[in-house]
Structure 1
Amino acid sequence: MKLGFPAVRLLCLAGLFALSAPALAIDCKKASSAAEKLICSDKKTVAADAELNRAYAAILKQAPDSEVRTMLVESQKRWVAARDRALDTLINTPDALSDDQSASDIARELIQNRTAEFKETQKKSATPAIISRAIAQKQFQAQFTGGAFAGYSTSCDVLPRDYVNYGCFAIRHYQNNDRVCSVDESWASGAVYTKRYVAKVVNGKPEAIASCSFNSEDEACSDAEGKTKWNMSPEQPKHVYTSEPLSKIDGEVFDSDDFAWVKTCLADPVYPPAK
């Protein structure tokens, strides 16, 4: 059956609404996963989950455009998946719990911390911090051409030390014409590791021409101009330059400290300077 324009338009709008509507609080009558059943087993945790849903719905209404709204929806899906992984671990490995805490206590604190993240604002602003960071990213990126190699490859998880802290680490790429400047930040064994890469696009792919690390004395990065010890013949980091599409904004990534270095890296065609 062929649909007329009004009917097609209504179906499209309905589809868009379904995709972008906020995830509702857990319906405990339909709880199916182990994580959902754990949350539903404690009234205080159920109340915390309901408050999180209200905070999530509120922050979606404050999104200034569809791009930021989509970012918020995707970031919440990412958090729910990480929450469920963490709670599954606690359910299946009771020894991971301290003696004075239950899995329900952990679940409630994890949920409350997420609610606090949505409600957090920057100084003298009513805009949620996660949105403010995304707006700052868009404004910074607008100075440059951007391109297929600009964006964020983000990994987020509940940190296993206490199972209540949720952290995101990202490989951050900035592009201007055929120059790509990247920051590879990762977390392992309780420590953060950070490297910088300068690349040029060759035959449609970034090719690293210099690198430095904040965790090395031999090839040490520095925020002081001219102090960096660049490796001018770096190995090509396959995990940094992938073919996966990149998110252009991610408010859960703290990258404002990159901006001064990136601006120099992208604007100066002979950066880094030869020694």
Structure 2
Amino acid sequence: MKPAYPALRLLFLGATFALSAPALAIDCKKAATAVEKLICSDRGAVSADAELNRSYAALLKQAPDSDIRAMLVQSQKRWLAARDQALETLINTPDALPDGKSAAGIARDLIRSRSAEFKETPKGQTVPGMISRAVAQQRFQGQFSGGEFAGYSTSCDVLPRDYAFYACFATRHYQNKDRVCSVDEYWASGSVYTRRYVADVVDGQPKVVATCSFNGDDAECFDAGGKTEWNRKPAQPEKLYAAGQLPKIDSEIADADDFDWVGACLADPAFPR
């Protein structure tokens, strides 16, 4: 009996193609959901959707490794879910529409904005920001041991104030051996709140030893002299850490400004212990 190598090879090739193929633009002949029908009702939105597909495919081709490519795919799925949720709200609740705007117009603007984001290349860089940020994250994290508590817990939404902006906020954790340094950044009531955590892994779980915050209840992260003011008797937060479950990179989170303090937190013995 001959082994089924040809069949297995075809299955493997099919799976590889499925992973490598970018998401296709909406086929308006088969539009089924309310959001698809909304986009297909507007010629400008249809054109923008086709351009989004082209820019997405071009972005994927520039990914330097499989980890960054997989991250980009997941990011786009996340954006599609947030876009559809926002547009469904506007379709079902017309009173939520900002003055002077239509749901189709908002769909068109959101799609164009996403396409522009894929193409945006920071000054001095040769690849789009969604790739260069991920590369910077990999390089920074490569200085440290990493660990099961490192990673990004990200939430993204189309902000409901005017439905014009898609934004992502994350609790991000960085680990070096038994030290875990974290930044919890979130949006609420029109403002961004940030809290920093310093923790040591004790008996297999992070134990927070110090916190500071911007716009929060802790001691401020910086006093008038520019020194960090830590709350050294913090309450232990619930559900802050998720062992072994978090993505290690997320280019929709611009965290390079935190690298200096995170690096010191992970390696400097002067940080709270």
| Residue of structure 1 equivalent to 2:247 | 247
CA-CA distance at 1:226 after TM superposition: 6.7
Once residues 164 and 86 of structure 2 are traced to their aligned partners in structure 1, the CA distance between those partners, rounded to angstroms, is 9
Taking the TM superposition and a 5 Å limit, the aligned residue runs for 1:48-197 are 48-197=48-197
Once residues 236 and 129 of structure 1 are traced to their aligned partners in structure 2, the CA distance between those partners, rounded to angstroms, is 36
The one-letter code of the counterpart of 1:157 is D
SS at match of 2:180: strand
1:20, 1:73 within 8 Å by CA — same for their partners in 2?
no
1:218, 1:229 within 8 Å by CA — same for their partners in 2?
no
SS at match of 2:171: strand
Give CA deviations for 1:137-193 in whole Å, capped at 9, x if unaligned.
Answer: 000000000011111111001000111200000001100001000000000111000
CA-CA distance at 1:124 after TM superposition: 2.7
Find out whether 1:207 has 2:207 as its counterpart.
yes
2:209, 2:272 within 8 Å by CA — same for their partners in 1?
no
SS at match of 2:236: coil
2:211, 2:218 within 8 Å by CA — same for their partners in 1?
no
The one-letter code of the counterpart of 1:168 is C
SS at match of 1:264: helix
Say if 1:239 and 1:258 are closer, same or farther in 2 by CA, change over 3 A.
same
CA-CA distance at 1:239 after TM superposition: 3.2
| Residue of structure 1 equivalent to 2:43 | 43
Say if 1:198 and 1:101 are closer, same or farther in 2 by CA, change over 3 A.
same
The two structures have a TM-score, normalised by structure 1, of 0.94
Q: Which is worse superposed, 204-213 or 91-100?
A: 91-100
| Residue of structure 2 equivalent to 1:7 | 7
CA-CA distance at 1:224 after TM superposition: 8.9
The two structures have a TM-score, normalised by structure 2, of 0.95
Say if 1:216 and 1:117 are closer, same or farther in 2 by CA, change over 3 A.
same
Give CA deviations for 1:55-87 in whole Å, capped at 9, x if unaligned.
Answer: 000000000011110010000000000000000
Once residues 105 and 59 of structure 1 are traced to their aligned partners in structure 2, the CA distance between those partners, rounded to angstroms, is 25
| Residue of structure 1 equivalent to 2:198 | 198
Once residues 174 and 120 of structure 1 are traced to their aligned partners in structure 2, the CA distance between those partners, rounded to angstroms, is 27
Say if 1:223 and 1:6 are closer, same or farther in 2 by CA, change over 3 A.
farther
Taking the TM superposition and a 5 Å limit, the aligned residue runs for 1:19-38 are 19-38=19-38
Consecutive unaligned residues in structure 1, runs of 5 or more: none
2:183, 2:197 within 8 Å by CA — same for their partners in 1?
yes
Say if 1:103 and 1:141 are closer, same or farther in 2 by CA, change over 3 A.
same
CA-CA distance at 1:238 after TM superposition: 1.6
> Structure 1 residue runs of 4+, over 6 Å off?
223-226
Once residues 223 and 180 of structure 1 are traced to their aligned partners in structure 2, the CA distance between those partners, rounded to angstroms, is 24
2:31, 2:40 within 8 Å by CA — same for their partners in 1?
yes
1:25, 1:53 within 8 Å by CA — same for their partners in 2?
yes
1:223, 1:261 within 8 Å by CA — same for their partners in 2?
no
CA-CA distance at 1:18 after TM superposition: 0.7
| Residue of structure 1 equivalent to 2:220 | 220
Percent identical pairs in the alignment equals 67
Give CA deviations for 1:190-247 in whole Å, capped at 9, x if unaligned.
Answer: 1000000000111211111110101147511139997222111111112321346111
| Residue of structure 2 equivalent to 1:16 | 16
| Residue of structure 1 equivalent to 2:230 | 230
Say if 1:225 and 1:12 are closer, same or farther in 2 by CA, change over 3 A.
farther
Once residues 2 and 113 of structure 1 are traced to their aligned partners in structure 2, the CA distance between those partners, rounded to angstroms, is 54
SS at match of 2:19: helix
The one-letter code of the counterpart of 2:38 is L
Number of aligned residues: 273
Once residues 3 and 56 of structure 2 are traced to their aligned partners in structure 1, the CA distance between those partners, rounded to angstroms, is 35
The one-letter code of the counterpart of 2:204 is G
Give CA deviations for 1:88-145 in whole Å, capped at 9, x if unaligned.
Answer: 0100111111332111000000000000000000103230001000000000000000
1:20, 1:70 within 8 Å by CA — same for their partners in 2?
no
Q: Which is worse superposed, 174-183 or 217-226?
A: 217-226
